[in-house]
Amino acid sequence: MASSDRTVLQFSSSSQSFSAKVHPLVIFNICDCYVRRPDQADRVIGTLLGSVLPDGTVDIRNSYAVPHNESIEQVALDIEYHHNMLISHQKVNPKEIIVGWYSTGLGVTGGSALIHEFYSREVQHPIHLTVDTGFTNGGGTIKAYVSNNLSLGERQIAAQFQEIPLDLRMVEAERIGFDMLKATAVDKIPSDLEGMEASMQHLLVLIDDIYKYVDDVVEGRVAPDNKIGRFISDAVGSLPKVSPRVFDKLVNDSLQDHLLLLYLSSITRTQLSLAEKLNTAAQIL
């Protein structure tokens, strides 16, 4: 019987001796980039910097975010920004090299393979770090992966992400900060208008407390305190003597300036997004 040729599926494993150690600064930096992300972005991705220890452990010590646009079919990275940031970091810390990349969210997504393929051209066997910035169930899950290639003959047809051991060591002060970060999870940094609204609401609460205290002192329900009285007098005396008409004009002028800045920043973001897509397309072609 003649033997028939067979094509064998080959699974190349690169995670047998891999492990990673991440410093708390990296996690804090990723969370900060997440809350400062653009309004249309669902997640943040970026580059991991560090070194490989003599025992093979990947030591992740620093990171920076990389602007990107992501859709169901494609992922566009700002490659020029990535290289410029790498050059800037290596001027300060020349021993830090690219060791992988990170993304926010739970686990690996569909576009992760495309991004991992790019970083595989930057460094051999890159680490993929995922950080649950939503702190689902109060956990703040942090995981590390490497990619294993599945080949059909000599043709690569797929990639599988396999989790590797990850060590997150913190001193007591860093642990307290991380626990506070999990307890006060914020999805986005409030805008200037939202911050002003919160400040005005807090100011109104304080004014109501002062009114109540003064009424209680006048009615004899509370003993007067000269120190508090001097504080109230200084606060009232520091208010500028401006007529309501002039005050309204100042507020309206400031509001118009703020709206103009918002409009200009929106135009700038649109222009940068178009330039990023054209630059990425030109580098791919």
Q: What is the pLDDT of residues 135-162, one digit of tens each?
A: 665 556 788 888 876 666 666 666 778 8
- Give the integer Cα–Cα distance in Å for 13 and 30: 29
Within 13 A of 256's CA, how many CA atoms are on the CB side?
Answer: 6
pTM here?
0.62
Cα 110 from chain centre? 20
- Tell me: the pLDDT tens digits for 220-240? 888 888 888 888 888 888 877
- Tell me: the pLDDT tens digits for 160-203? 788 888 888 777 777 777 777 666 655 566 666 777 787 888 88
Say how many C-beta atoms besides its own lie within 10 A of residue 116's C-beta: 21
Burial class (CB in 10 A: 0-12, 13-18, 19+), 65: buried
Residues 6+ apart with CB under 8 A from 240: none
- Helix/strand number for the chain, H first, E second: 7, 11
- pLDDT category of residue 47 using cuts at 50, 70 and 90: very high
Mean pLDDT of 57-70: 88
- pLDDT category of residue 46 using cuts at 50, 70 and 90: very high
> Between β-strands 20-22 and 45-52, what pairing exists: parallel, antiparallel or unpaired?
unpaired
